[in-house]
Amino acid sequence: MIKTQNLTKTYGKGEGKVTALGGVDITIKDGEMVAIIGKSGSGKSTLLNLLGGLDKATEGKVFYNDTDLSTLNDTKLSEFRLKNIGFVFQFFDLIPELTAEENVLFPAKLAKKKETAESDLYTALDITERVKHYPSEMSGGQQQRAAIARALINDPDVILCDEPTGNLDKASGEAVMSLLKKLNKEPHKTVIIVTHDRDIASQCTRIIELSDGRLT
């Protein structure tokens, strides 16, 4: 279960202060598939970053079950991210110097995991043939699937996606969505998707809408 308490994020100081997120309280149960929607600048990406520990909240807290993310130091937080959260970004963000396979296996190696199910992942994601390639040699869809594989390699409970289909054509986007749905259904992963696309949001079990940094 993921819970936030009065989650607030502001940038700047004084008169120029911009509130990206203003006191958000949400609870996401295990195994839910939640879409966070809102217009550009509504604070949805900020919320996702805070949920994933990629950024520190100005105020408020994020709880994973009983763990308060704000109490973790960088090493602990990193370890938490490594083992419990999988990230999928809009721009895939694979490390360009590593092949797809190396990208996928990197978190596993960091976590010192001996046995990984990477070949199953490749098959499921249909990228078996491309894993020896560098990101620059792959299409957007392939890159995103590799990024998903990377997010899943440590078998995290929560998958956070920031506009996962934003940079993909329709077919690839649909494929990615159905994959995420499958993950939610079968091993009951908690999936949180930030999107501005209502179609995608409608495929989720719950929709959280943000406007000007607040829930609506």
Segment 21-50, which members bind other proteins (CB under 8 A)?
40-41, 43, 45-46, 49
For 14, 155, 183, the CA distances from 151, given in Å and listed in that order, are 39, 8, 12
Name the segment binding other proteins (CB under 8 A); options: 78-86, 120-128, 174-182, 188-196. 78-86
CB of 81 to other proteins, least distance (A): 4
Instruction: Give the residues across from 28 on adjacent strands.
Output: 2
Segment 148-167, which members bind other proteins (CB under 8 A)?
150, 154
Segment 103-142, which members bind other proteins (CB under 8 A)?
106-107, 109-111, 132, 134, 136
111 with 187: CB under 8 angstroms?
no
Other CB atoms closer than 10 Å to residue 202's CB: what's the count? 10
Q: Does 13 interact with other proteins (rule: CB under 8 A)? A: yes
200 with 35: CB under 8 angstroms?
yes
Of 55, 40, 41, the residue nearest 7 (C-alpha): 55
CB of 185 to other proteins, least distance (A): 25
Q: Does 82 interact with other proteins (rule: CB under 8 A)? A: yes
For 69, 79, 124, 176, the CA distances from 84, given in Å and listed in that order, are 12, 8, 21, 21
Q: Does 96 interact with other proteins (rule: CB under 8 A)? A: yes
Binding site for other proteins (CB under 8 A): 11-16, 18, 20, 40-41, 43, 45-46, 49, 52, 54-56, 74-75, 78-83, 85, 87, 89, 91, 93-99, 102, 106-107, 109-111, 132, 134, 136, 150, 154
